Structure 1
Amino acid sequence: MESSTNSTTITDEQPQIAQEFPHIIRVFTDGRVERLRETDIVPPSLYPHSVVSSKDITLDSQNNIAARLFLPPPQSTHNHKLPIVIYFHGGAFCVNSPFNAAYHNYLTALVSKANVVAVSVQYRLAPEHPLPAAYDDAWTALQWVASHGKNNGPEPWLNEHADFERVFLAGDSAGANIVHNIVMMAGHPDMNLGIDILGACLSHPYFWGSTPIGSEVLELGKRELVDRLWPFICPSMPESDNLWVNPMAEDAPSLAWLGCRRVFVCIAEKDVLKDRGRLYYEALSRSGWTGVVEIEETEGKGHAFHIHDLECDKAKELITSMAEFFNRDAPPF
């Protein structure tokens, strides 16, 4: 007599891809997030093993806000204070950190060339922490730096070496977007940082809008990607004409509120965001803001090229221009 056994095959349903931005980030239906680039971590380094010293610090343990500090060679810091640059990395608000090789090497090169003290900020990333988390973290970092304005803050490097008459904010891509929004906050009369921001450097800024302008009309594939990105990182304000991502929109606050005295906008010829950067420069020029704005375009290069190809001549030229910006005499009020 033959016997039969009833069996049930149990198969675990595999998570599927819910959203993906090629070469940037992938999110699965179970909530897992896979970042597809710049996930490496490199340690800081101290003189004499490196020309530029660096170390890691925690700014806010509750929200896991950290930073990597950079200090130029000892002979550069002897007996005089240096400009301080607060830097915000790029990466579409969802990838990268100050601790990966690309940004560590870039800040090392910038600090060495410009002879500045730098604070490279680690802010919380989307989608786990959608906007405005990055803006909140950036403001917290700026307040932490400002707490050293009387040379009695918690970090000796800033107390001993930073000139709080020459404070700059800088960033690339999403980081440049952060710079704009934070400097706008700093310009509000109700904000009292205790220090003034002398200048802002916006490199290949991530600005966008619902109506294509300039070369965006021809960049349909790239435009579709950027159109999808903003609602992904900012679901609370998904419209691409809101003030955070489109400071040139009709109902955005006047750029005359910008809370610094000098602005340097850097754009790249082959960057889909270049026309937004140029429009920002033009809008700021005619806004009634009383500061000085300048712009520089790099021919033949694409978005954030200088972060990943430090040895090319164009990257060296751009870093030199930034160094000159950080060390130029302040314009009169």
Structure 2
Amino acid sequence: MDSSKEVSLEIFPYIRVYKDGTFDRLTGFEIAPPGLDPETRVESKDVLILPDTGISARIYRPSSASASAAKKLPLVIYFHGGAFIIASIADPKYHASLNAFVAESDIIVVSVDYRRVPEYPLPAAYDDSWAALQWIASGEARRESWLRDQADFDRLFLIGDSGGANMSHHLAMRLRGDVLGERVKLSGIGMIQPYFWGETPIGAEVADPGRKALVDSWWRFVCASDKGCDDPLINPFADGAPGVNGLACEKVLVIVSEKDILRDRGRLYYDKLAESGGAVAAEIMEIEGEDHVFQIFDPSCEKAKRLFKRMASFVNSDGDDHNKESAE
């Protein structure tokens, strides 16, 4: 970080932009290599999936999968959070949390390294995530040995936290009206502390204008929209936005945290799903006493373990136990 240059903008806690146009990310730039995790016995490796844009993914599998290739495991496409500004598939915190999730769930995970703001303005992240889904549906993905031998492409889930959950929603909406939806059977989406927002405060946002203004600044930095925080990308229930009608999946799990300023947006998303009366089964889990993406910061804590267990149950269930709510 360069402290000698004049700062033009700081988006706390993510990025500092200087008047000469350069910037420093303030967090989320650490790197952890793939490989065998000695604690969870989960294996991982990096693969280039989109040569034209240089987009890669980190694939995770339980170590037992290599010894039992005949058993096909659910396939999860994971999108990390970071407000579209920070983090990557190699972030040590995300790497540790996905090791824990895979170990608990007995699944295959493809974590997508989409491009970030400000180098690549939105909708680059959404476009990369859509292209990753196209890659999953292509013959190229089936030529990747771990996926070919161990992934069940008919049990496909999109899961993300924060901004990654936001993208999971938009991908599931886009699939319904696209020819890709004829080739991709999406079993469900997992929305962990989803990053949705809006101009008009709701719930806890009303009593906390400081945090409301902070989250406003995040979105206005990454998305140059004249609709501000009512852009349909961040507010699926703004005027003219499609809401949740048309999700191309069988079920949705929304997980929110009690102290998270985004909590009420996640609950609203669940409520709208439950009210829609459509074919999508909705579940919600609220974690008491925790804030945004606490499970990324401490994946070994007991509440993180309960979160991973709930996601594992969601991915591995047969679809008979839905439309439920629980508080942990």
TM-score calculated relative to the size of structure 2: 0.92
Separation of aligned partners in 2, 1:245 and 1:101: 27
Q: 2:313 maps to what in 1?
A: 324
Give the equivalent residue in structure 2 for 1:56: 46
Instruction: Identify unmatched segments of 5+ residues in structure 1.
Output: 1-13
Residues of 1 paired with 2:238 and 2:184: CA distance? 29
SS of residue paired to 1:257: coil
| 1:22 lines up with 2:15 in the alignment | no
Check if 1:164 corresponds to 2:164.
no
Amino acid at match of 1:314: K
What aligned pairs does 1:178-257 form with structure 2 within 5 A after superposition?
178-192=167-181, 194-236=183-225, 239-257=228-246
1:279 aligns with 2:292: no
Contact 1:146/1:193, CA 8 A, preserved across alignment? no
Alpha-carbon distance in 2 for matches of 1:131, 1:282: 28
Q: 1:168 aligns to what SS in structure 2? A: strand
Q: Which residue of 1 aligns with 2:324?
A: none
- The CA deviation string for residues 2-26 of structure 1, in whole angstroms up to 9 with x for no partner, is xxxxxxxxxxxx6321211222111
**Cα displacement (A) at 1:253:** 1.1
**Residue by residue, what CA displacement relative to the aligned partner does 1:103-126 show, whole Å, maximum 9, x if unpaired?**
111111101100000000100000
1:128 to 93, 105, 119: 119
Which residue, 94, 97, 100 being the options, matches 1:103?
94
Distance in 2, matches of 1:111 and 1:237, equals 40
Tell whether the 8 Å contact from 2:141 to 2:147 is kept in structure 1 after alignment: no
Q: Which amino acid aligns with 2:307?
A: L
Counterpart code for 1:87: Y
SS in 2 for 1:107: helix
CA contact (8 A) 1:185 1:191 kept: no
1:69, 1:118 within 8 Å by CA — same for their partners in 2? yes
Give the whole-Å Cα distance in 1 for the aligned partners of 2:68 and 2:260.
37
Amino acid paired to 1:211: T
2:70 to 53, 62, 79: 79
* Contact residue 255 and residue 289 of structure 1 kept, 8 A: no
Change (3 A) 1:196 1:241: same
**Rg bigger for which structure?**
1
Aligned residues between the structures: 317
Alpha-carbon distance, 1:46 to partner: 3.6
User: How far apart are residue 254 of structure 1 and its match?
Assistant: 4.2
Q: 2:230·2:238 contact (CA, 8 Å) conserved in 1?
A: yes
Q: Does 1:315 align with 2:300?
A: no
Taking structure 1 as the reference length, what is the TM-score of the superposition?
0.90
Unmatched runs of 5 consecutive residues or more in structure 2:
322-328
| CA spacing shift, 1:131–1:193, aligned 2, 3 Å | farther
* Percent of residue pairs identical: 44
> Mean Cα displacement is larger for which, 72-81 or 179-188?
72-81
Distance 1:256 1:304 in 2: 27
Alpha-carbon RMSD: 1.9
Q: Counterpart amino acid of 1:270?
A: K
Is structure 2 residue 99 aligned with structure 1 residue 112? no
Query: 2:325 — aligned with what?
Result: none
Q: Separation in 2 of the partners of 1:185 and 1:86?
A: 16
In structure 2, C-alpha distance between the alignment counterparts of 1:32 and 1:254, rounded to whole Å: 37
Shift of 1:256: 1.8
SS at match of 1:42: coil
Distance 1:117 1:275 in 2: 31
Q: Which amino acid aligns with 1:45?
A: G
Residue 50 and residue 275 in structure 1: after superposition, are their counterparts in 2 closer, same or farther (change >3 A)?
closer
The answer on whether the counterparts of 2:70 and 2:149 sit within 8 Å (CA) in structure 1 is no
How far the C-alpha of 1:288 sits from its partner, in A, is 4.0
